[in-house]
Amino acid sequence: MAILTVENIEKSYRIKKDKKRTKLMAVHNVSFEIKKGSCVGLVGESGCGKSTLGRIINGLEKADAGKILIDGVDIHEKSRKELSCRVQMVFQDSYDAVNPRYTASQIVEEPLKNLTKLNKTEREEKIRKHLSEVGISESEWNKYGMEFSGGQLQRVCIARALAAEPDLIVLDEPLSSLDVSVQAQILNLLHDIQKEKELTYLLVSHDLEAVYYLADVIIVMYGGQIMEKIDSMDYFNRMQHPYTRMLLASVPGYEDAGGERENNRTIYKDMGTQLEGFMGCPYCGRCRFATERCWNERPVLQEVEKGHYIACHKETSHAD
Ligand code: ADP
Ligand code: MG
């Protein structure tokens, strides 16, 4: 059963480029589902539309077209409060995400005040429970947000998300601003609480390796579009989109994927592949396999084997 259904989401922003008004296609025709209790990893480098999609799912931003369904119901039929009870977010920069004048307890109490009818004593009990769950010891419950290290404050933010008792947590680059040693601890924590509470995650990251550890499904995005999707981690070794291969080459143990790695000397220029009017593949400006067709025709996501989808003319031309 899908807890979240993302259907043909489109989002563009009006921008100015070279003094001309144009539109930047931040998310193009993105569709996928998340099954209850699973983790979908959404991977791609900065600017590919991950956060925009996360904000749309969380109702913080409105799509130009398409639908977001939670348990089959359009999120726009739900009130802000109803949606917050189902979907919570954890952001990259925890210092930005909290009120620095709040203590850890007050940070976790916020959703309890806003979303539940619990009285003070009941709230305190929940605060203790959730802070303990994320490994914040009692001596730190009254520390202020800004007094915590990045990793500890991210734990508090996770506790705040848990306090709403949501079904789905959108984790938007939850590890990116943390030291490498701390990243592993937070990743372990996310793993443990997911299993314990049967939570559903959308894990947004530019780091394929981090996603590999938690995800059941991987979606690779580039330039607002899904480039590759695997519905089972059994296909991880067979991911083959030129862009995915390039990302894979930076994962230890997968350096061999570097056979198709980007030529480092290729100076990538923004070739406007995300701007209004461009009809080709968003990745074509960087792809060493790009042909005329790639510049002119946007590849659509096609199933190349059961549960494995690719949007690439090179990989799917035999199936045309
Ligand atoms: P990611 O999270 O993958 O780094 P974003 O979703 O933040 O990517 O952004 C996708 C694209 O949309 C980027 O090119 C970004 O510059 C652009 N963008 C995001 N928000 C806005 C906005 N409010 N106005 C104009 N452009 C935006
Ligand atoms: Mg982002």
Give residue limits of the domains in the chain: 37-63+77-222, 224-320
DSSP-derived secondary structure letter, 77: G
Query: Does any ligand 1 atom lie closer than 6 A to the CB of residue 17?
Result: no
**Does pLDDT of 268 surpass 70?**
no
Q: Quick one: pLDDT at residue 263?
A: 45
Query: Does any ligand 1 atom lie closer than 6 A to the CB of residue 225?
Result: no
What is the b/e burial string over 195-219, where b = at least 16 CB atoms within 10 angstroms of the residue's CB? eeeebbbbbbbbbbbbbbebbbbbb
Query: Does any ligand 1 atom lie closer than 6 A to the CB of residue 51?
Result: yes
Query: Does any ligand 1 atom lie closer than 6 A to the CB of residue 28?
Result: no
Query: Does any ligand 1 atom lie closer than 6 A to the CB of residue 13?
Result: yes
Ligand 1 mutation pick, 13, 22, 61, 207, max ligand atoms within 8 A of CB: 13
Query: Does any ligand 1 atom lie closer than 6 A to the CB of residue 11?
Result: no
Tell how far the Cα of 46 is from the centroid of ligand 1, in angstroms: 9
Q: Quick one: pLDDT at residue 265?
A: 38
Confidence of residue 258 (pLDDT cuts 50, 70, 90): low
The larger pLDDT score, comparing residue 266 to residue 83, is at 83
Query: Does any ligand 1 atom lie closer than 6 A to the CB of residue 289?
Result: no
Q: Quick one: pLDDT at residue 195?
A: 94
pLDDT (mean) for 150-171: 96
Q: Quick one: pLDDT at residue 271?
A: 61
**Does pLDDT of 264 surpass 80?**
no
pLDDT (mean) for 219-225: 96
- pTM beyond 0.75: yes
Q: Quick one: pLDDT at residue 254?
A: 76
For the ranges 281-290, 300-309, 311-320, the one whose mean pLDDT is highest: 300-309
pLDDT digits over 54-82, tens only? 999 999 999 999 999 999 999 999 999 99
Taking the CA of 56 as reference, the closest ligand is 1
Three-state DSSP state, 23: strand
Q: Quick one: pLDDT at residue 267?
A: 43
Q: Quick one: pLDDT at residue 260?
A: 46
Ligand 1 mutation pick, 52, 60, 227, max ligand atoms within 8 A of CB: 52
Residue 152 to residue 29: CA distance in whole angstroms = 37
Q: Which two tokens stand for residue 61?
A: 């931003």
Taking the CA of 272 as reference, the closest ligand is 1
Q: Per the CATH hierarchy, to which homologous superfamily does domain 37-63+77-222 belong?
A: P-loop containing nucleotide triphosphate hydrolases (3.40.50.300)
Tell how far the Cα of 26 is from the centroid of ligand 1, in angstroms: 6
Q: Are 109 and 123 in contact (CB under 8 A)?
A: yes
Max CA-CA distance within the chain?
Answer: 67
